[in-house]
């Protein structure tokens, strides 16, 4: 097992790459990339960094030269032979050769495209523009670099003993959470913590802790590299990126209203079983389900990623009943802002009514709250989203208006098209 405190202490030396592999990314990025490679290979898309936590002024914490070194290093990466063999030959979700030969040949030759970086009012403006399958692969490594450089900046002046104590306290916190979770009968939980992790080493340690502490209740990790190294399942389906870009490409309000279902129709052609998971909240869950085609009700389940999770699950259960489906056979994946208290409550409420699973993210892989003076290691909300497609702005409404993004006039248009009324704002914690 890596001795984390010593490695962190040694980060003070010349460049220690944060991202060392193109598969140090979320599994759903690869699944979506293959779908995009097939259906929209030439679509021009822009991704932009968005810091939702204004008081974390990244450009004042992180040295621009060091950030550029890390980003430039990522541009030198390509798939290793072992990584290619893992993707080509492994079984994912019960399916052999999940990734097609033409996609794998393209991926093996991929080098990430250029980036644009500048400082503005204490923040970094970081954007990536180019063919959709290429620029989308920047999202997770860009977030990982910024999150870990912030971590390194805060820890830079700590000595060896101080770091040892810090990580001992953080490890104890994780293990206390594990001890509570192992009491939940029938728990199914995965690591979804790549994008806003404390560091790669810490995420890897957390996965090992879950493997030992939860046993079969731990079903896998979203991180492909860790899944390969630790021989656990790679977990993930699809994300808001797909409907956001499909919607931006729509030429009329009528096409816009159909766009979220066109996404899933394309997905339906490629995947089956537990990969058929609906993410309904991009433009509002209620309207999405009310207007969904009947074939979607036959899909395996739903992921709830914004708004009140209890309300979201109840809406899904009612929808399945109205469509003649048995909710007890359906999978509900909770993945928004989870920590132990929330997991315990949701498991108690729904485990006997649906098949429940949890994608535990930031408060698994980055819960250092209160462990350093000034709470300078507390997690914060940083995202990298598709912001434009073919020059048109993208929009996300969400079930929580505090997660909405896009120009105000376009947000209002989308609310009209998707019949989104008054929404309850909830704090975006992580």
Distance CA 160, CA 150 (A): 19
**Residue 78, pLDDT score:** 97
What distances in angstroms separate CA 428 from CA 312, 332, 337, 380, 403, one per listed residue? 17, 21, 8, 9, 7
pTM of the model: 0.94
Chain segment 405-418, per-residue pLDDT in tens: 999 999 999 999 99
Residue 15 has pLDDT above 80, yes or no: no
Of the pLDDT bands very low, low, confident and very high (cuts 50, 70, 90), residue 1 is: low
Residue 145 has pLDDT above 70, yes or no: yes
Residue 87 has pLDDT above 70, yes or no: yes
Residue 33 has pLDDT above 70, yes or no: yes
Residue 11 has pLDDT above 70, yes or no: no
**Residue 386, pLDDT score:** 98
Selection from 411, 419, 376, 377 nearest residue 394 by Cα: 411
Q: Which tokens hold the place of 281?
A: 């909240």
Of the pLDDT bands very low, low, confident and very high (cuts 50, 70, 90), residue 121 is: very high
In this structure, is the dihedral angle defined by the CA atoms of residues 259, 261, 263 and 269, taken in order, positive or negative? negative
Pair 303, 277: CB distance under 8 Å: yes
What is the H or E stretch that residue 92 is in?
A: strand 91-92
């Amino acid at each position: 097992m890596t001795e984390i405190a010593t490695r962190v202490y040694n980060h003070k030396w010349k460049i220690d790459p944060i991202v060392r592999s193109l598969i140090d990314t979320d599994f759903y990025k690869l699944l979506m990339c293959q779908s995009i490679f097939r259906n929209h290979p030439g679509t021009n898309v822009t991704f932009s960094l968005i810091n939702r936590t204004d008081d974390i002024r990244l450009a004042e914490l992180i040295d621009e030269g060091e950030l550029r070194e890390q980003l430039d290093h990522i541009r030198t990466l390509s798939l290793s032979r072992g990584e290619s063999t893992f993707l080509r030959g492994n079984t994912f979700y019960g399916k052999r050769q999940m990734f097609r030969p033409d996609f794998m040949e393209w991926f093996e030759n991929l080098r990430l495209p250029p980036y644009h970086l500048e400082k503005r009012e204490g923040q970094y403006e970081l954007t990536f523009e180019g063919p959709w399958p290429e620029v989308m692969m920047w999202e997770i490594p860009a977030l990982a670099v910024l999150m870990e450089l912030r971590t390194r900046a805060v820890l830079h002046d700590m000595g060896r003993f101080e770091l040892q104590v810090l990580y001992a306290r953080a490890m104890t916190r994780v293990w206390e959470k594990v001890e509570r979770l192992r009491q939940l009968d029938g728990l199914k939980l995965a690591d979804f913590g790549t994008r806003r992790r404390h560091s790669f080493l810490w995420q890897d340690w957390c996965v090992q802790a879950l493997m030992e502490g939860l046993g079969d209740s731990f079903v896998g990790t979203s991180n492909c590299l860790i899944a390969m190294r630790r021989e656990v399942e790679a977990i993930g389906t699809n994300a808001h990126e797909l409907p956001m870009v499909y919607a931006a490409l729509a030429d009329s309000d009528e096409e816009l209203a159909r766009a979220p279902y066109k996404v899933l129709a394309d997905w339906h052609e490629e995947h089956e079983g537990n990969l058929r998971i609906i993410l309904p909240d991009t433009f509002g869950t209620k309207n999405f389900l009310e207007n969904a085609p009947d074939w979607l009700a036959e899909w395996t389940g739903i992921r709830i990623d914004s708004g009140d999770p209890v309300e979201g699950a109840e809406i899904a259960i009612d929808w399945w009943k109205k469509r003649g489906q048995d909710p007890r056979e359906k999978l509900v994946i909770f993945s928004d802002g989870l920590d132990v208290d929330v997991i315990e409550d949701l498991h108690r409420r729904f485990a006997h009514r649906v098949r429940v699973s949890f994608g535990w993210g930031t408060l698994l892989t980055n819960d250092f709250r209160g462990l350093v003076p000034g709470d300078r290691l507390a997690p914060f909300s940083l995202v990298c989203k598709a912001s434009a497609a073919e020059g048109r702005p993208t929009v996300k409404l969400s079930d929580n208006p505090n997660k909405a993004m896009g120009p105000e006039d376009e947000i209002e248009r989308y609310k009209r098209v998707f019949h989104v009324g008054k929404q309850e704002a909830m704090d975006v914690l992580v």
